[in-house]
Amino acid sequence: MSRGYLFVEEMESTLSLGKEYFQHFIKVLRKKKDDIIFICDGKGKKAPATIVSIDYKRKQFLLRVHKEQVSFSPPSFPFVVLFCALPKLNRLRFFLEKTVELGVDEIHPLITQRSIHIPQRTENFISKAKLIIKEASSQSQRVYIPQIYAPIKFGEAIKDSRTSIRILFNCLQGEDFRFVIEKLKNCIPQKISVFIGPEGDFSPEEIEEARREGVILSVMKNMNILRVETCASFVVGLINFHLKRCV
């Protein structure tokens, strides 16, 4: 049974939680009095907390946090940064949930020449995305909450990611991703930046710019063409499965 993870900014000795958390922990996870829930700060620290009491009428419950049992989990590597053109709005939640569950560490919505879906209200978009990411982090029991940033143009993203190993996926040219993974196994980098374009793919000019910048161009040979959110989830999952290591 899942113990459940709850993210808080400060680890107080006691926590009183209302309807929002009651639905998830008491109704969905079926927690009872004296059960354990983990409290996390989203930056590697976590501590067990005991359910002291449950008020089913008011839909509230009280936690006692065992601060003397606080532990710290160092970040694993490689740190996976995703520069990705956004999918359609009706598939955005899936995109965020699955990439977080599969291990992405940082998300940068990417603006390319062929991008169609660009948030018009950046602050509103970021606020909603952070909530989805936080929920997915709790569900997948991550102790670090991935960060999401404002949309960035392709050229700027290529330059800003120079300190990492960069891999750009496209439909035109490059090494088979399986061979790229095998090469990286020999010397696992601290940070990997993954570039995934819109469903119309990157333009030839963007691919050429990436090549000049030393970005690894990669294709998925002998595979079906994937949607943006499927490709992003698939790539992040493969990187974490084959390369992720604990410090």
Tokens of 148: 């999401």
* Residue 3, pLDDT score: 64
What is the rounded average pLDDT of the residues 188-194? 95
**Is residue 2's pLDDT more than 60?**
no
Helix (H) or strand (E) holding 216: strand 216-219
DSSP letter for 153, please. Answer: E
Q: Distance between CA atoms of 202 and 16, rounded to whole angstroms? A: 49
Q: Distance between CA atoms of 141 and 38, rounded to whole angstroms? A: 9
Helix (H) or strand (E) holding 111: strand 106-111
Of the two residues 9 and 110, the one the predictor is more confident about is: 110
Domains detected in the chain: 5-72 (2.40.240.20), 76-246 (3.40.1280.10)
Q: Distance between CA atoms of 193 and 183, rounded to whole angstroms? A: 16
What is the rounded average pLDDT of the residues 154-175? 94
- CB–CB of 50/35 below 8 Å? yes
Percent of the chain at pLDDT > 70 equals 98
Residue 55 half-sphere exposure, CB side, CA atoms within 13 Å?
Answer: 11
- CA dihedral (216, 217, 223, 225) positive or negative: positive
Q: Is 13 helix (H, G, I), strand (E, B) or coil?
A: coil
Do the strands 71-72 and 79-84 form a parallel or antiparallel pair, or are they unpaired? unpaired
**Is residue 31's pLDDT more than 50?**
yes
- CB–CB of 169/235 below 8 Å? yes
What is the rounded average pLDDT of the residues 1-25? 83
233 closest CA partner among 66, 47, 97, 139: 97
How crowded is residue 86: how many other Cβ atoms within 10 Å of its Cβ?
25
* Residue 89, pLDDT score: 84
How crowded is residue 67: how many other Cβ atoms within 10 Å of its Cβ?
13
Q: What is the pLDDT of residues 198-234, one digit of tens each?
A: 988 999 999 999 999 999 999 987 778 889 999 999 9
196 closest CA partner among 212, 220, 179, 222: 220
Buried b (16+ CB within 10 A) or exposed e, 14-36: ebebeeebbebbbeeeebeeebe
Q: Distance between CA atoms of 102 and 100, rounded to whole angstroms? A: 5
**Is residue 147's pLDDT more than 60?**
yes
Q: How confident is residue 246, by pLDDT bands cut at 50, 70 and 90?
A: low
